[in-house]
A and B are shown apart, each in its own frame.
Chain A
Amino acid sequence: MSPRTKALYLVLLALLLIVPFQNMVYIVFVMKLLCFALFASAFNLLLGYTGLLSFGHAAFFGGAAYVTAHACKAWGWTPEMGILAGMAYAAITGWAFGSLAIRRQGIYFAMITLALSQLIFFLALQLKFTGGEDGIQGVPRGKLFGLIDLSSDTALYYFVLALALFGFLAIQRAIHSPFGQVLKSIRENEPRAISLGYDVAKFKLLAFVISATLAGMAGSAKSLVFQLATLTDVHWHMSGEVVLMTILGGIGTILGPVVGAGVVIGLQNYLAGIGSFSTIVLGAIFVVCVLAFRRGIVGEWLALLERRRAAKAEAGYRES
């Protein structure tokens, strides 16, 4: 990591740490942002680093939200246990869905994940405990480890921030691990990875499970922040939204999904006044992005830096 990147991360972290001590940005909004940034980053592990486009990640995000909400509300579990339950659900569903979906490639993979996630949507709509159209409301935030009361926004904020940081670090590590190297090689050239002796199905499945689990963690955290789990979270719109965030921010970049989540959530918030027209604006932005800057915001920025670096190196070479 270059010193400049390190400095950027430190500044970001410092800004995040002081959020509760200012009045310019609404703290619940930042928590929402963190949840979605984590969701998109988990998704990016699959799309950006393994080359698999899942169109069913709402099943993990929203499903985990329901599990956490139910565990905390009906069974009175502490928040950390509720979140672990949500993650366990996401890991198991991720394993089941992943095992089926990785048998196919490309658009078929996406369609299978979409179909399976619709099953979860149906369950959320029909099962008793999920409360149908109402969802699960009034989820207690509870006491972390039975000690720290999370009903204050500040306490909950630091908890969510810690979760998100844990998630980002886990993803960062997975990308830069021996496992991550093989994932990238599968993304780059799958037949070649096979011919080097890698059983690619195993790698794709593990990537899918990790991605689903962390997406679940994001959904669980969100259900505590809003004290709510609803059908919106498991709807296929949500699966699409995370694709949008990741592509807009920059596939296969560390900060891309975070920026993408910020842009999408920020715009939704800002455009809330014009109601359903906001999707038209978002759609238009997406079209512009795909046509004009395909690498996404962060992707284009990195490409620009790379070009400048290359030009400088070239100039240096000529002078010497």
Chain B
Amino acid sequence: MSEAAGEPILQTEGLTKEFMGFVAVNDVGLTVKRGTIHALIGPNGAGKTTCFNLLTKFHKPTSGRIVFKGADITDKTPSQIALIGMVRSFQISSVFPHLTVLENVRVGLQQRLGISMHFWKSEKTLDRLNDEAMHCLGQVGLAEFADRTAVSLPYGRKRALEIATTLGMNPELMLLDEPTQGMGHEDVDRVTQLIKKVSAGRTVLMVEHNMKVVASIADTITVLQRGSVIASGTYAEVSANPQVMDAYLGTTTTEGLGAH
């Protein structure tokens, strides 16, 4: 994180994805600046998650380029980009249900030891990662649950665990796909604060539906509609954009969005 904040960490040029003739993502140019929280919003079916899957290589783009830290990553595999500092979460909570909370984090940490193919070594060789794993869990307030299986955690805590696992990878860019989806009010606030807290020294790109969350923590917002970018800027800029109002409310009067 020696590079200056404000420089682009992730850029796309003309990113397009077609599914059998249906254009899900159309000519998207996105610039995510280092050290910011960047939100990707848009109505249902706008192509947010597809866009996410393109960025993290889970889908191959039909055309266009993706540049991360100055290098073209368009042809990399999903596991490769995780190793160069870009780690994602998923829309549905993605923990390892029958591993313990500690093991969940440790599986991520284990990556960097380079011994993951060593089937003849005892798992005790992983114990040296326990302190660091506990530290990650402490950051999201899960330290006391370390020995429980992930499946036994309530939903909000599962999402927190997911963030802890992602943190363990020490990513420069965290991609969060709807981190507050399906949560109650308290959980939403807690996870929002958590994202704010862990974003220190990192860059976060998140897909989010909840406008309150976006308004409170996002530095930059990009609005997608029918696969294309229709606006990009701060919350104030974006919410004043007539096209955005039209997309969200089907009206161009300004009062509507003010009520949010």
Contacts and interface: CB of A to CB of B under 8 A. Distances in A.
Contacts of A182: 107, 110, 116
Contact of B116 (A176, A178, A191): A178
A197 B113 contact: no
A83 to B, nearest CB: 20
Nearest to A200: B79
A192 B159 CA distance: 13
Interface in B110-156: 110-111, 113, 115-123, 125-126
A196 interface: yes
A178 B82 CA distance: 19
Interface residues of A, number: 27
Interface in A135-183: 173-174, 176-182
A177 B56 CA distance: 29
Given A197-B79, A197-B169, A198-B111, A179 B118 contact: yes
A206 interface: yes
Interface string B68-95: 0000000001111011000111100011
Interface in A185-235: 185, 188-189, 191-200, 202-203, 206, 210
A188 B96 contact: yes
A203 B117 contact: yes
Contacts of A191: 58, 90, 94
Contacts of B88: 195
Contacts of A294: none
B16 to A, nearest CB: 23
Contacts of B110: 178, 181-182
Interface centre among B58, B78, B111, B116 (most CB of A within 10 A): B116
Contacts of B120: 173-174, 177
A181 B123 contact: yes
Contacts of B79: 194-195, 197-200
Contacts of B82: 194-197
A188 B98 contact: yes
B106 interface: yes
Contacts of B111: 196-198
Interface residues of B, number: 38
A192 B122 contact: no
B247 interface: no
A185 B107 contact: yes
Contact of A198 (B106, B116, B122): B116
Contact of B119 (A193, A196, A197, A210): A210
B99 interface: yes
A196 B80 CA distance: 9
Contact of A189 (B95, B115, B117, B169): B95
A180 B90 contact: no
Contacts of A179: 116-119, 121
A177 B58 contact: no
A181 B169 contact: no
Nearest to A176: B123
A52 to B, nearest CB: 16
B125 to A, nearest CB: 6
A202 B94 contact: no
A197 to B, nearest CB: 3
Contacts of B103: 181
Contact of B106 (A181, A192, A193, A202): A181
Contacts of B56: 195
Nearest to B56: A195
Interface centre among B79, B115, B126 (most CB of A within 10 A): B79
B52 to A, nearest CB: 11
Contact of A178 (B90, B98, B126, B169): B126
B201 interface: no
B119 A173 contact: yes
Contact of A192 (B77, B80, B96): B96
Interface centre among A173, A180, A195, A210 (most CB of B within 10 A): A195
A185 B56 CA distance: 19
A110 B97 CA distance: 24
Given A196-B82, A196-B169, 6 more contacts: A178-B113, A178-B117, A178-B125, A181-B123, A196-B111, A206-B119
23 contacts: A173-B119, A173-B122, A174-B119, A177-B120, A178-B116, A178-B123, A178-B125, A179-B118, A181-B103, A181-B106, A181-B107, A181-B110, A185-B99, A188-B96, A188-B99, A192-B90, A192-B95, A193-B107, A194-B79, A195-B79, A196-B82, A197-B83, A198-B111
Interface of B: 56, 58, 77-80, 82-83, 87-90, 94-99, 103, 106-108, 110-111, 113, 115-123, 125-126, 165, 169
